[in-house]
Amino acid sequence: MESCYRQLGALAALNRRYFTRFQVKRMARLAASLAIAPPALASRIDALLLAAPAIAFAQLHALEGEVLDLVARHAPRVDLAAARSRRADFRP
């Protein structure tokens, strides 16, 4: 769940939208309002929260990669080296 919050926070920042954890109840509405976001964001987060741990990890790993790619594309001055290095150490 914590990683989902981080992904939503990063996407809200890219979209210059205010985000708090209290908005998770309305996550689908928030996700639908984000112009910059991976496809089917809300349904993907819902699915990974219900999936078996190994499947959820693989889904989260893929989602995180897409969010990092969006950050790289839309905020090129953000240094993603540490995040990319950390991701390289983990494979689903």
Over 22-57, what HEC string results?
HHHHHHHHHHHHCCCCCCCHHHHHHHHHHCCHHHHH
Q: How many CB atoms lie within 10 A of CB 67?
A: 22
pLDDT tens figures, 8-62 = 989 999 999 987 766 566 788 888 899 999 999 999 999 998 999 999 999 999 9
pLDDT at 6 over 60: yes
**Domain that residue 61 falls in:** 2-88
- Tokens read off for 18: 């205010």
Write down the pLDDT at residue 23: 56
Residue type, 82: A
User: How far are the Cα atoms of 20, 41, 89 from residue 32, in angstroms, in the given order?
Assistant: 16, 8, 32
Nearest 5°: the CA angle 28, 44, 79 is 95
| Count of domains for the chain | 1
Q: What confidence score (pLDDT) does residue 92 get?
A: 65
Residue 7 pLDDT class (50, 70, 90 cuts) = very high
